[in-house]
C-alpha cells in the first residue's frame, strides 16, 4: 500500500509499524499510522488529497498553515479561562521540513497530529451532542472572526456556489447517460423534478451576498457532526477537524450545513427514507450551544437568513449527490450503484421536512 511507504517520509520518531484505513470521509484517503520507537507507539493521521477534487492541493495546506498559526495563538491566549482543552490537528512536517509530499500526478500526502481521547460521530447522539456541536461551531466562528478572509486562497473553486452547481446539473442533464438514467428510473426523474422546482431557495443566499446583505468571512466549509471531536470522558466538544475547505465564505453556510447534518438523526444514508426529518429538539439544543460563543462575537449573526441557510444547504447537497449520480459517481465515494441517488433522495426528504416546519424553525432561530 502506498500509504505504508509515504508514512515513513514524515518527521516522527521511529518507523510506521502499522498503517490502516481510518474514518468515514467521502473525499480524502485517510489512514491511521502507528509509529513505533522502541517500546513507545505514537499515532498520526496520514492523508492523500486528490487533485481531481482540489485543483491545487498545495493551497489546502497553505490555508491550513495560516489557520493553524492563528488558532494556536488565540487558544493559548484563552487557555487559562477556557472550560476545556481546545484542540485542532497540527501539521507534521516531512523529514525535509516541508508541509507535504507531492506525487507525480499532482496528488499530495500530508501528516497531521492524532487527537487522543476523543472521537467523532457521523450521526447525532442526542440533544447533549447537538449542544456541543453548536458550541464547537460557534467557538470556531468566534476564533476566526478577526482573521481576514483575504489571507485564504480558494482551495475548492465554486464550493457552496449554488449557481455553479445548478449550471453543472443542467449540463449533466443534457448528456446521453443522464438522459438514459432519467428515462429508465422514475426515482431519478422525480428527484430531478424536485430540485428544479426549488431553484429560488437554492440561490437565495448567493443573491443576498451579491446585494450586500451578507458578508464573507472565514468559514470551515464542512462543519457536519462527523467533523466535531467529542471528548470520550466528558462528552464535551473540543474542536473541528477536516479543515480542507476552510476559505472565504458565508458563516450562514456553515450554520445551515451543520444543522442539516446534525438535526437529521437518520443520517445521509438512512435505513429507510421515511426516517428522514428535521428534529426540532436537536435544533434547539444546537442553537443553545451555538449562541453561547456567538454572543461573545463583535459582529452578530444575520438572523434573517438562518432558516434560508438550513434549507438551502440541504437542497445544495442533494443537488450535488444527484448530479454525481447522473454523471456516473465521479466525485463522492459510493458503496453500490444508486448510492448517490439514495443520498439525494434523503436530502430532498429532509428539505420537505424543513419546509413543513418553517414557522417553528424560524421561531427557534429567533433565540439567537
Strand ranges in the chain using DSSP code E only, listed in sequence order = 15-21, 29-37, 40-49, 91-92, 101-102, 108-113, 118-119, 217-219, 228-231, 237-240, 247-249
For CA atoms 61, 65, 71, 72, the dihedral sign is positive
pLDDT tens sequence across 273-288: 999 999 999 999 999 9
pLDDT confidence tier of residue 334, bands split at 50, 70 and 90:
confident
pLDDT tens sequence across 62-104: 999 999 999 999 999 999 999 999 999 999 999 999 999 999 9
Query: 364: which 3 cell numbers?
Result: 427557534
Residue 292: exposed, middle, or buried by beta-carbon count in 10 A (0-12, 13-18, 19+)? Answer: middle
pLDDT tens sequence across 104-134: 999 999 999 999 999 999 889 999 999 999 9
Residue 311 pLDDT more than 90? yes
Q: What is the mean pLDDT of the chain?
A: 93
Report the DSSP beta bridge partners of residue 37.
40
Residues 240-246 have a mean pLDDT of 94
- The residues, any chain, with a CB within 8 Å of residue 200's CB and separated by 6 or more, are none
pLDDT tens sequence across 208-222: 999 999 999 999 999
Query: 95: which 3 cell numbers?
Result: 523529514
Residues 13-39 have a mean pLDDT of 85
User: What's the pLDDT score for residue 1?
Assistant: 53
The CATH code of domain 1-57+87-114 reads 3.30.200.20
Residue 247 has a CB neighbour count (10 Å cut-off) of: 23
pLDDT tens sequence across 355-364: 999 999 999 9
pLDDT tens sequence across 31-65: 999 999 888 899 999 999 999 889 999 999 999 99
CA angle 287/303/293 to nearest 5° reads 45
Cα separation, 239 vs 90, whole angstroms: 12
Residues 304-312 have a mean pLDDT of 95
User: What is the DSSP code string of 222-265?
Assistant: ---GGGEEEETTT--EEEE---TT-EEE-HHHHHHHHHHHHS-T
Q: Are 10 and 32 in contact (CB under 8 A)?
A: no
Report the DSSP beta bridge partners of residue 228.
240
User: What's the pLDDT score for residue 27?
Assistant: 67
Cα separation, 237 vs 226, whole angstroms: 12
pLDDT confidence tier of residue 303, bands split at 50, 70 and 90:
low
User: What's the pLDDT score for residue 301?
Assistant: 63
Residues 258-268 have a mean pLDDT of 94
- The residues, any chain, with a CB within 8 Å of residue 212's CB and separated by 6 or more, are none
User: What's the pLDDT score for residue 98?
Assistant: 96
pLDDT confidence tier of residue 365, bands split at 50, 70 and 90:
very high
3-state helix, strand, coil in the chain (%, to 5): 50, 15, 40
Residue 329 has a CB neighbour count (10 Å cut-off) of: 17
For cell 468559514, the residue is: 219
Q: What are phi and psi of 111, to 5 degrees?
A: -125, 135
pLDDT confidence tier of residue 344, bands split at 50, 70 and 90:
very high
Cα separation, 33 vs 174, whole angstroms: 44
Amino acid at each position: 500500500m502506498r500509504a505504508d511507504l509515504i508514512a515513513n517520509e514524515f518527521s516522527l520518531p521511529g518507523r510506521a509499524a502499522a498503517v490502516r484505513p481510518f474514518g468515514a470521509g467521502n473525499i480524502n484517503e485517510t489512514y491511521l499510522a502507528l509509529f513505533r520507537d522502541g517500546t513507545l507507539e505514537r499515532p498520526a493521521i496520514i492523508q492523500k488529497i486528490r487533485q481531481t477534487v482540489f485543483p491545487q492541493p498545495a493551497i489546502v495546506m497553505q490555508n491550513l498553515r495560516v489557520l493553524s498559526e492563528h488558532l494556536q495563538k488565540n487558544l493559548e491566549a484563552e487557555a487559562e479561562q477556557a472550560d476545556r482543552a481546545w484542540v485542532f490537528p497540527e501539521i507534521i512536517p516531512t523529514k525535509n521540513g516541508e508541509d507535504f509530499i507531492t506525487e507525480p500526478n499532482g496528488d499530495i500526502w500530508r501528516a497531521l497530529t492524532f487527537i487522543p481521547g476523543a472521537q467523532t460521530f457521523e450521526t447525532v447522539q442526542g440533544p447533549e451532542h447537538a449542544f456541543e456541536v453548536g458550541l464547537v461551531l460557534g467557538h470556531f466562528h468566534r476564533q476566526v472572526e478577526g482573521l481576514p478572509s483575504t489571507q485564504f486562497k480558494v482551495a475548492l473553486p465554486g464550493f457552496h456556489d449554488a449557481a455553479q452547481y445548478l449550471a453543472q446539473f443542467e449540463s449533466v442533464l443534457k448528456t446521453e447517460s443522464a438522459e438514459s438514467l432519467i428515462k429508465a428510473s422514475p426515482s431519478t426523474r422525480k428527484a430531478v423534478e424536485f430540485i428544479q422546482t426549488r431553484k429560488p431557495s437554492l440561490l437565495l443566499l448567493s443573491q443576498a451576498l451579491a446585494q450586500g446583505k451578507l458578508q464573507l468571512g472565514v468559514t470551515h466549509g464542512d462543519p457536519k457532526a462527523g467533523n466535531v471531536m467529542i471528548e470520550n470522558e466528558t462528552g464535551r466538544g473540543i474542536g473541528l477537524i477536516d479543515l480542507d475547505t476552510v476559505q472565504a465564505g458565508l458563516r450562514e453556510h456553515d450554520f445551515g450545513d451543520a444543522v442539516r447534518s446534525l438535526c437529521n438523526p437518520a443520517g445521509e444514508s438512512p435505513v429507510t427514507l421515511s426516517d428522514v426529518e428535521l428534529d426540532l429538539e436537536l435544533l434547539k439544543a444546537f442553537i443553545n450551544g451555538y449562541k453561547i460563543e456567538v454572543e461573545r462575537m463583535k459582529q452578530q449573526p444575520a438572523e434573517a437568513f438562518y432558516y434560508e441557510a438550513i434549507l438551502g444547504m440541504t437542497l445544495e447537497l442533494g443537488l450535488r449527490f444527484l448530479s454525481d449520480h447522473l454523471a456516473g459517481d465521479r466525485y463522492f465515494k459510493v458503496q453500490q450503484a444508486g448510492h448517490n441517488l439514495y443520498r439525494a433522495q434523503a436530502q430532498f426528504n429532509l428539505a420537505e421536512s424543513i419546509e413543513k416546519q418553517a414557522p417553528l424553525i424560524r421561531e427557534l432561530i429567533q433565540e439567537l
